[in-house]
């Protein structure tokens, strides 16, 4: 199964962080050649071969953005040199890890500090130390060689940097928590150019903010140390029903999925593609096929015969490749899977949807266009952490709701989001960053917004790190 069959994604017009192409008036001219001499990693400037590649994100909609330079930092000292450079020259700065920001906010017109070459992954005694630029497919692959893993997202090329800083929802989160819940410490370069190690006792406020407060706000993270869990054989499943069962499937799923055993994670997709409308429930179970069949039985009893049914045992590592849409690919080939233009919006659902809302959701998906809605189960270990224990506030959410459309047109997205808002409320996940939101502080952070603002003023009082929706 390819990723685009599992997760339909496609482009949104960005509010790219504003900025100046060169130094601000009154500041010394930017010494790009001097910066280049200081760095161990390459600095790619306009006119250099490789510039067009260096400025690309995952979503081609943002290819028109032309940074003043892209620094491929090789060390924390490189990152510090970049931060000191932009502060002195008063040039806008943007951190980039995997480049998957929905709004394109990992590029800009100033200096992009790209940490993708800081991608080492090591393991010792139950702890994994991961460079902030590592891609998820490499994290799963390298840790599996040690018989361990961390809970993280399903897209193979998402960067561990952006994912962890915003929270990190994945296919084993109901059992092991969000990615940020297993974080024990991190190394970060702050606006004053210091390289800090943060954990529960050192720079504890900054450490708290970096677990759900979102990327691009407090500094440039260079590495993370995570607590790992042992891996085991698992089972995966993908079940489809006729479209006529779509509303019944949503009603059955939303009361079943968030209350399932922690070992069972599932996602419900409603979509409209060139083959027509589809409804699918898929997921992963940390256990054998027989036990999974028994857990799926209540759904089958309510919804009747499947149009397609796949339930199979798998190694943990292969299951991550299946969930990444890379079932038949090598890790290297998986990393080369195509970029996709998409636009998206989302909700975090704190209550089950009433029948009226389910019917409206299904009717919205059936409207013209190529788009999908993804409901991802939460609860379990995610919900057992207090909402203020980390900056990620949505601990009581039952599931997330993502609306995706191919291309950059946001018309359908805005309509269906507005239709569902009275039923799902005003909660959003910062990793599904949405440039349309005006009350984004409340939606992303809820009651944690005030403490995040305090951390910001302590570590970046002059707001060197800026986003259109920055803390
Ligand atoms: C196809 C796809 C699938 C996804 N699947 C999941 C999923 O399963 N679970 C989930 O939770 N999310 C998922 N996401 C959302 C994803 O978590 C966010 O888009 C995340 O921010 C991407 O991180 P990145 O490093 O790839 O992106 P980037 O675009 O590089 O960064 C995102 C933000 O973080 C900042 N940032 C990046 N690196 C650093 C750093 N080292 N230090 C400080 N700030 C930094 C950037 O400036 C930007 O603001 C998915 C996104 C896509 C496009």
User: Which residues line ligand 1 at a C-beta cut-off of 6 Å?
Assistant: 9, 58, 94-102, 105-106, 115, 132, 153-155, 158-159, 161-163, 165-170, 215-216, 220-221, 431, 467
Tell which atom from ligand 1 comes closest to the C-alpha of 102. 19
CA dihedral 444, 177, 295, 237 (to 10 degrees): 80
Tell me the average pLDDT across 395-424. 96
Pick from 59, 171, 215, 401 the residue to mutate for probing ligand 1's pocket: most ligand atoms within 8 Å of its CB.
215
Nearest CA to ligand 1 atom 31: 162
Tell which atom from ligand 1 comes closest to the C-alpha of 157. 26
374 CA distance to ligand 1 middle (Å): 18
- Kindly report, residue by residue over 277-332, the tens digit of the pLDDT: 999 999 999 999 999 999 999 999 999 999 999 999 999 999 999 999 999 999 99
Q: What is the pLDDT of residue 337?
A: 83
16 CA distance to ligand 1 middle (Å): 15
Handedness of CA 3, 97, 17, 36 (dihedral sign): negative
Unique residue bearing structure tokens 């409308």: 277
Nearest CA to ligand 1 atom 19: 101
**How is 298-367 classified by DSSP, letter by letter?**
HHHHHH-S-SEEEEEEE-HHHHHHHHTTBTTS-HHHHHTPPP--EEEEEEEESSPPPHHHHHHHHHHHHS
Whether the per-residue pLDDT at 7 is higher than 50: the answer is no
Residues 48 and 93: beta-carbon distance below 8 Å: no
Cα 35 to Cα 116, 393, 435, distances in angstroms:
19, 39, 32
Q: What is the pLDDT of residue 338?
A: 83
Residues 424 and 357: beta-carbon distance below 8 Å: yes
- Kindly report, residue by residue over 79-108, the tens digit of the pLDDT: 999 999 999 999 999 999 999 999 999 999
Please give the residue that has the higher pLDDT: either 262 or 4.
262
Q: What is the pLDDT of residue 16?
A: 38
432 CA distance to ligand 1 middle (Å): 8
- CATH numbers and ranges of domains, the chain: 3-18+35-114 (3.30.43.10), 121-231 (3.30.465.10), 234-445 (3.40.462.20)
Tell which atom from ligand 1 comes closest to the C-alpha of 222. 41
Pick from 158, 191, 466 the residue to mutate for probing ligand 1's pocket: most ligand atoms within 8 Å of its CB.
158
- Percent of the chain clearing pLDDT 90 (strictly above): 92
């Amino acid at each position: 199964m390819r990723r685009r069959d599992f997760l339909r994604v496609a482009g949104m017009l960005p509010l790219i962080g504003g900025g100046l192409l060169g130094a601000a008036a009154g500041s010394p001219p930017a010494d790009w050649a001097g910066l280049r001499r200081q760095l161990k990693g390459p600095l790619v400037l306009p006119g250099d071969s490789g510039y067009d590649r260096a400025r690309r994100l995952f979503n081609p909609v943002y290819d028109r953005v032309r940074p003043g330079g892209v620094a491929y930092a090789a060390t924390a000292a490189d990152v510090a040199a970049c931060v000191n450079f932009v502060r002195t020259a008063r040039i806008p700065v943007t951190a980039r890890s995997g480049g998957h920001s929905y709004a394109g906010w990992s590029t800009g017109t100033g200096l992009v500090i790209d940490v993708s070459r800081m991608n080492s992954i090591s393991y010792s005694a139950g702890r994994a130390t991961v460079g902030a630029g590592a891609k998820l497919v490499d994290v799963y692959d390298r840790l599996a060689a040690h018989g361990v893993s961390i809970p993280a997202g399903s897209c193979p090329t998402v960067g561990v940097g952006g994912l962890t800083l915003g929270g990190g929802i994945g296919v084993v989160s109901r059992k092991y928590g969000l990615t940020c819940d297993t974080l024990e410490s991190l190394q970060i370069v702050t606006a004053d150019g210091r390289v800090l190690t943060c954990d529960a006792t050192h720079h504890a406020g900054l450490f708290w903010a970096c677990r759900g407060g979102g990327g691009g706000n407090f500094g440039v993270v260079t590495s993370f140390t995570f607590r790992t869990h042992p891996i085991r054989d698992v089972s995966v499943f993908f079940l489809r029903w006729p479209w006529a069962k779509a509303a019944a499937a949503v009603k059955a799923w939303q009361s079943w999925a968030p209350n399932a055993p922690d070992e069972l994670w599932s996602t419900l997709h409603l979509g409209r593609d060139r083959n027509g409308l589809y409804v699918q429930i898929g997921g992963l179970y940390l256990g054998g096929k027989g036990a999974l069949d028994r857990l799926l039985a209540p759904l089958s009893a309510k919804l009747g015969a499947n149009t397609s049914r796949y339930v199979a045992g798998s190694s943990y590592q292969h299951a991550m490749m299946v969930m990444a849409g890379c079932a038949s690919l090598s890790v290297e080939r998986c990393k080369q899977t195509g970029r996709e233009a998409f636009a998206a919006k989302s909700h975090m659902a704190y209550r089950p949807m009433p029948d009226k809302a389910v019917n409206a959701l299904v009717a919205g998906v059936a409207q013209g266009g190529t788009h999908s809605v993804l409901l991802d189960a939460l609860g379990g270990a995610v919900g057992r952490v207090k909402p203020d224990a980390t900056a990620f506030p949505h601990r009581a959410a039952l599931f997330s709701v993502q609306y995706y459309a191919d291309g950059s047109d946001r018309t359908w997205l805005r309509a269906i989001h507005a239709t569902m808002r009275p039923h799902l409320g005003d909660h959003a996940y910062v990793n599904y960053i949405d440039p349309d939101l005006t009350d984004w502080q409340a939606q992303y952070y809820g009651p944690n917004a005030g403490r995040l603002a305090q951390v910001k003023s302590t570590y970046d009082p002059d707001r060197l790190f800026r986003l259109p929706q920055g803390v």
